[in-house]
Structure 1
Amino acid sequence: MNFLAHLHIAEHTETSFVGNFLGDFVKGNPIGQFDVDIVQGIRLHRFVDSYTDQHQLVKLAKPLFAADLRRYAPIALDMFWDHFLAKHWSQFHDLSLGDFCRQAQLQIELESSREINAFPEHFKKISTLVWQERWLESYQKIENIQYALARMSLRSVRMAPLALTGETLVKHYQRLSEIFFELYADLLDKTAAYVTGRG
């Protein structure tokens, strides 16, 4: 799951928006680095990533990618899940996607203003771009997911093949869509159980 799903799950579980957004930018044990609510959000983010990567449905999706692209499948799939969530947002939330994004931005700004510890510079940069360029709303179009993957592939020579994964997402769009609905419903249940201590 990518930024949009993590923020939706933050609201679904009534946990920190900042923590759930911050998960990819913090290494090691977050205890002592941030407020306890943010730490809980970071841990939930990590649970989501781990649970998703190991999910049987995701294991079924990975072979849809060519053998030489399979190592990049988790990144491409994370982007695709956010695309499908954005595209079918009205099935998961009463607010419009735009209104939710504005609400999430305000919540993150509020939580950030209360945190006395400094956030990673890369997180602050990406967070600014997400809201200024309306990344989450742009996820509604698969072409923007392909563009994002192509941009990510430019980070290093090793990441170059990532640019080709967008073609797989389009080719197997229907099958991946079917997987998403089952996967995300299960994930919403599991994250609620995780936060309440039942998972």
Structure 2
Amino acid sequence: MNFLAHLHIADHCNSHLMGNLLGDFVKGDPSKQYQTDISNGIKLHRFVDRITDHHPIVQACKPHFSGVARRFAPIALDMFWDHCLAKHWNAFHPDSLDEFVAYAFQTVNAQVVDTLPPRFLLLHSRMWREGWLLSYRELENIEFALHRMSQRSPRMADLTTTFEVLDDEYLSLEAKFPSLYQDVLNQAFEYHQQLIKF
């Protein structure tokens, strides 16, 4: 799951939105670095990444990717699931995607402070300014995002090879999304309930 899914899952679980965005930017034990609600958000993000990566449905999708694309399948699928969520948003949330993104921006932006990780602050600025979350509705923007990510370092260059798989296997992959996402939502909710008990 990527940024849109992490924000939606946070909202679904009544977890801290910014904490869930911080998940990829904080190392070590977050409870030693942040207040409890943010720390729990980071933990929820990590839990979602872990169960998604090892989910039987995701494992069944990986054989679609071969050659150099196989190594980057998890990244490509995370982006693709955000596309599916944006496309089928109304099945998972009562508000429109535009309304939710506006709410998420207002909530997260009000909590941003200079002491947050610099890489997160850069992402925060670009993601909202460039409208990434709404753009995920169109598959061509997933291709653009994968291309942009591939330019981060030479070892990421082959990430671009994954889009052909997403395009060719679109209907098959899309059909797997509702069951996968509903299961992730259910597991995430249960995990968060356990977190806030302690």
TM-score range, shorter chain: over 0.9
Other-structure match for 1:72: 72
Match of 2:25 in 1: 25
Percent identity between matched residues is: 49
Instruction: Indicate the residue corresponding to 2:143 in structure 1.
Output: 146
Q: Which residue matches 1:119?
A: 116
SS of the aligned residue for 1:34 comes to coil
**Number of the residue aligned with 2:43:** 43
- Alignment pair present for 1:180 and 2:177: yes
Q: CA deviation at 1:110?
A: 2.9
Task: List 4+ stretches of structure 1 deviating above 2 A.
Answer: 109-113
Where does residue 14 of structure 1 map in the other structure?
14
Q: Give the aligned partner of residue 34 of structure 1.
A: 34
Write the letter of the residue equivalent to 1:41.
G
Q: 1:68 deviation in Å?
A: 2.3
Aligned AA (1:15):
S
Q: Distance in 1 between matches of 2:67 and 2:190?
A: 35
Gaps of 5+ in 1: none
1:129 aligns with 2:126: yes
2:192 and 2:91 mapped to 1: Cα distance? 23
Question: What letter corresponds to residue 185 of structure 1 in structure 2?
Answer: Q
CA distance in 1, matches of 2:133, 2:147: 17
CA-atom RMSD in angstroms = 1.3
Letter in 2 for 1:90: N
Partner of 1:96: 96
Cα distance in 2, alignment partners of residues 112 and 53 from structure 1: 29
Deviations 1:39-85 (A, max 9, x none): 00000000000000000110000000113211100000000000000
How far did residue 146 of structure 1 move?
0.5
Deviations 1:89-111 (A, max 9, x none): 11111111111011001111233
Count of paired positions: 195
Q: TM-score, normalised to structure 2's length?
A: 0.95
Q: C-alpha displacement at 1:178, in angstroms?
A: 1.2
What amino acid does structure 2 have at the position aligned with 1:141? Answer: E
The reply to whether residue 2 of structure 1 matches residue 22 of structure 2 is no
In 2, the alpha carbon distance for the partners of 1:144 and 1:186 equals 26
Alignment correspondent of 1:158: 155
Residue 54 of structure 1 aligns with which residue? 54
